[in-house]
Amino acid sequence: MGKRSLAVAAAGALCAGCAAFITPSLPRAAQRAGSRGLHMAVTKKDSYSITLLPGDGIGPEITTATVAAIQPFSKLFKMEFKEALIGGAAIDATGSPFPDATFEQIKASDSVLLSAIGGPKWDGNPREQRPETGLLAMRKGLGLFANLRPAKVVRQLLDASTLKPEIVDGVDIMVVRELTGDVYFGTPKGIETTESGERFGYNNMIYYEHEVERIARVAFDVARKRGKRVCSVDKANVLDVSQLWRDVVIRIQKDEYPDVELTHQYVDNAAMQLIRWPKQFDVMVTGNIFGDILSDEASMLVGSLGMLPSASVGNPSGPGVFEPCHGSAPDIAGQDKANPLAMILSAAMMLRYDLGRPEEADLLETAVDNVLDQGYATADIMRDGCKPVGCKEMGQRVAEALEKLL
């Protein structure tokens, strides 16, 4: 039994989504009774072990800045950071983008903070030696079936959005994307040739009920901590797999989350509504391919890549992975120009969803907000009248702001 399952058993606090994952046969009434929300199976502890995956490009710089930013929490609890290799750095050192030693270390951790991987140096490698292959192997190995991508418009950066300020001001959306199923993983798939010599390609868009149930529970659990509204996005007017998706989401809401409002949108309409009136959304839940596209669209409402955190969670007996949405930015690597705030905000998600520390997550987000209010800005979010800072100083400024809040 994993450490988290033990903690769960001891606390008797299974969340609905987690319960479905560990014990699919658990009666629904028991799941409902034990529902404590996403990953809240993790009880607050005095000490946490956190694996840092600095990765490539700007990764090491933003990792150092993030660790500095959250250091003030050591007054409240212990954080033991241990670095491990992934991506291009891991290929250079070991020949593998996701070495066994990294996987073993991660499995023994409470949580994982990842920066970014990849770069031109490895672009020409065969697929098994590409940095992204390491990322996919990690997600699969850890059973991370849910991707959470917040799109929260930062008041101080309203002008950075390509949409009018009055449309984006106040936008606060959480896109919950299923990460391990759908047309990306369905079989059969392939490219074949007909007898007449014409080639054809195909993939299988497929969801099993249990896959929809568990992602729906994640979305409803997240909604309970926010505005208690979920919009499920599908294409049920055309696709059978979407009809199943919709039926299951409706059932889960009715049986287990009657306190959360559920609406539905077809994916084409959802794409339009995100631009037309984004403030209507609280939590959006959707499948892998629709989520891939909509989460990118939603994140662009915010306007700056350097401000977007994300979380991949799902397996209650192992850690989640928290990482910025941006890549390794090789064009500015090693120049102290990178914005570390997306990774710092990812650390806030880690505190909230993996470490049982939602109050501290709020404090860290407030500290970031206060630093932006004070006018500090890295080059990517520079506005008139702001004080330019580098990556390292931005981390220190957040630490100072956090210190004042503790």
| CB nearer ligand NAD, residue 300 or residue 305 | 305
Would you tell me which residues interact with ligand NAD (CB under 6 A)? 58, 116-119, 305-306, 326-332, 338-339, 342, 380
| Closest distance of CB 196 from ligand NAD, Å | 38
Distance in angstroms (rounded) separating the CA atoms of residues 256 and 328? 41
The encoded tokens of residue 96 equal: 């593998």
| Closest distance of CB 315 from ligand NAD, Å | 19
| CB nearer ligand NAD, residue 342 or residue 363 | 342
Distance in angstroms (rounded) separating the CA atoms of residues 223 and 33? 18
Cross-strand partners of 48? 79
Which residue is closest to ligand NAD by CB?
A: 327
Distances (CA, A) of 241 to 119, 211, 280: 37, 12, 26
| Closest distance of CB 25 from ligand NAD, Å | 36
Question: Any residues with CB less than 8 A from the CB of 74 and at least 6 apart, and which?
Answer: none
Question: Any residues with CB less than 8 A from the CB of 124 and at least 6 apart, and which?
Answer: none
| Closest distance of CB 287 from ligand NAD, Å | 20
Distances (CA, A) of 169 to 166, 277, 278, 315: 5, 11, 10, 34
| Closest distance of CB 82 from ligand NAD, Å | 20
Distance in angstroms (rounded) separating the CA atoms of residues 109 and 317? 11
| Closest distance of CB 9 from ligand NAD, Å | 34
The encoded tokens of residue 323 equal: 């990482």
Distance in angstroms (rounded) separating the CA atoms of residues 219 and 232? 9
Distance in angstroms (rounded) separating the CA atoms of residues 55 and 155? 30
Find the distance separating the first CA and the last CA of the chain, reported in whole Å: 36
| CB nearer ligand NAD, residue 216 or residue 343 | 343
The encoded tokens of residue 178 equal: 């299923």
β pairing state of 229-234 and 199-202: unpaired
State the catalytic residues: 184, 235, 268, 292, 296
Query: Could you tell me how far CA 30 lies from the centroid of its own chain?
Result: 28
| Closest distance of CB 328 from ligand NAD, Å | 4
| CB nearer ligand NAD, residue 42 or residue 65 | 65
| CB nearer ligand NAD, residue 22 or residue 332 | 332
| CB nearer ligand NAD, residue 4 or residue 326 | 326
Distance in angstroms (rounded) separating the CA atoms of residues 151 and 172? 6
| CB nearer ligand NAD, residue 248 or residue 391 | 391
Distance in angstroms (rounded) separating the CA atoms of residues 355 and 70? 14
Distance in angstroms (rounded) separating the CA atoms of residues 272 and 388? 36
